[in-house]
């Protein structure tokens, strides 16, 4: 489609405004983490690394960071295994209720976090009778992190030439050898992309976490929430926020570069919504 000059200009300006509206506040947080003024006076009178130093010295922040990384890594690993298995089952085999299962798998990402959180909290404490801990957070995160892996893998499987696996079997390879030598290498970049998205999704999650985390445990977002209204902690909160932004954005950027075709979170959400309608 060809656009007229004025249309191009208008669209360019609109794009710039929207992006500015999204990223200016984030940039402000980043700048303020270096702002020498405790009350974040604008424009900054000077820059300092003091807040960064304070953040790294803080035991609470360090513990929250380690917890967040641990939760994100483990729930990503669980998502990779379960998401891949689900995608293969739903793509390869026809069975009664396949479409329903497909919908049920992608639904968690569209569900409001507060509902998922309350439901899981209920399930853990009253029905299963387990005490809340980092593990309950990991399980809760895996329920929706699995979706990004599932979406990426199923998209790849749909595009993959089914003859490749037949050729492998034809040449004498059993089911597991075929998966290891042919299917897995074809899925590798989709798994990486899906895994990175899952990691990012888990790392900055707060709502479901609030309802499933044990008393006294913190993740980075929980730490921010707890310290948000303590005026003397405000500069350190800014630093933690910046860490959160960077650790969340980098995997998503990598995932995008890795597979132009990968189905991201937004697409997953859109699909889930479309399916609900």
The residue assigned the tokens 């919504």 is 273
Question: Which range in 78-86, 126-134, 170-178, 268-276 contacts other proteins by CB under 8 A?
Answer: 170-178
Q: Which residues contact 104 (CB under 8 A, 6 or more apart)?
A: none
Site for other proteins in 175-204 (CB under 8 A): 177, 181-182, 185-186
CA distance 7 to 11: 6
Q: Is the dihedral of CA 217, 220, 226, 227 positive or negative?
A: positive
Point out which residues pair with 35 in neighbouring strands. Answer: 47
Q: Measuring CA to CA, which residue among 99, 100, 103 is closest to residue 111?
A: 103
Question: Which range in 138-146, 172-180, 200-208, 222-230 contacts other proteins by CB under 8 A?
Answer: 172-180
Smaller CB distance to other proteins: residue 185 or 214? 185
- Does residue 173 bind other proteins (CB under 8 A)? yes
- Does residue 161 bind other proteins (CB under 8 A)? yes
Supply 34's token pair.
Answer: 């270096």
Smaller CB distance to other proteins: residue 172 or 216? 172
- Does residue 214 bind other proteins (CB under 8 A)? no
- Does residue 118 bind other proteins (CB under 8 A)? no
- Does residue 170 bind other proteins (CB under 8 A)? yes
Start-to-end CA span in the chain (Å): 31
Interface contacts to other proteins, rule CB under 8 A: 161, 163-164, 166-174, 177, 181-182, 185-186
């Amino acid at each position: 489609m060809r656009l007229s000059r004025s249309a191009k200009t208008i669209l360019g300006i609109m794009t710039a405004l929207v992006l500015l509206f999204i990223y200016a506040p984030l940039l402000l947080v980043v700048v303020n983490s270096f702002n020498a003024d405790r009350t974040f006076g604008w424009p900054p009178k000077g820059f300092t690394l003091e807040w960064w130093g304070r953040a790294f010295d803080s035991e609470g922040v360090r513990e929250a960071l380690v917890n967040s990384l641990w939760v994100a890594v483990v729930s990503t690993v669980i998502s990779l295994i379960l998401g891949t298995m689900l995608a293969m089952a739903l793509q390869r085999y026809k069975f009664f209720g396949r479409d329903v299962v497909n919908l049920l798998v992608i639904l968690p990402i569209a569900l409001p976090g507060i509902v998922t959180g309350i439901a899981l909290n209920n399930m853990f404490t009253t029905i299963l009778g387990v005490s809340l801990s980092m593990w309950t957070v990991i399980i809760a995160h895996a329920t929706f992190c699995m979706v990004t892996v599932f979406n990426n893998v199923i998209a790849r499987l749909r595009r993959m030439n089914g003859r490749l696996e037949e050729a492998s079997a034809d040449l004498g390879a059993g089911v597991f050898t075929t998966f290891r030598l042919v299917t897995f290498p074809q899925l590798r970049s989709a798994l990486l992309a899906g895994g990175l998205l899952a990691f990012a999704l888990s790392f900055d999650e707060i709502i479901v976490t609030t309802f499933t985390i044990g008393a006294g445990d913190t993740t980075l977002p929980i730490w921010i929430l707890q310290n948000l209204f303590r005026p003397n902690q405000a500069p350190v909160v800014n630093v933690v926020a910046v860490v959160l932004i960077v650790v969340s954005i980098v995997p998503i950027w990598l995932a995008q570069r890795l597979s132009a075709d990968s189905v991201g979170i937004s697409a997953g959400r859109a699909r889930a919504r479309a399916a609900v309608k």
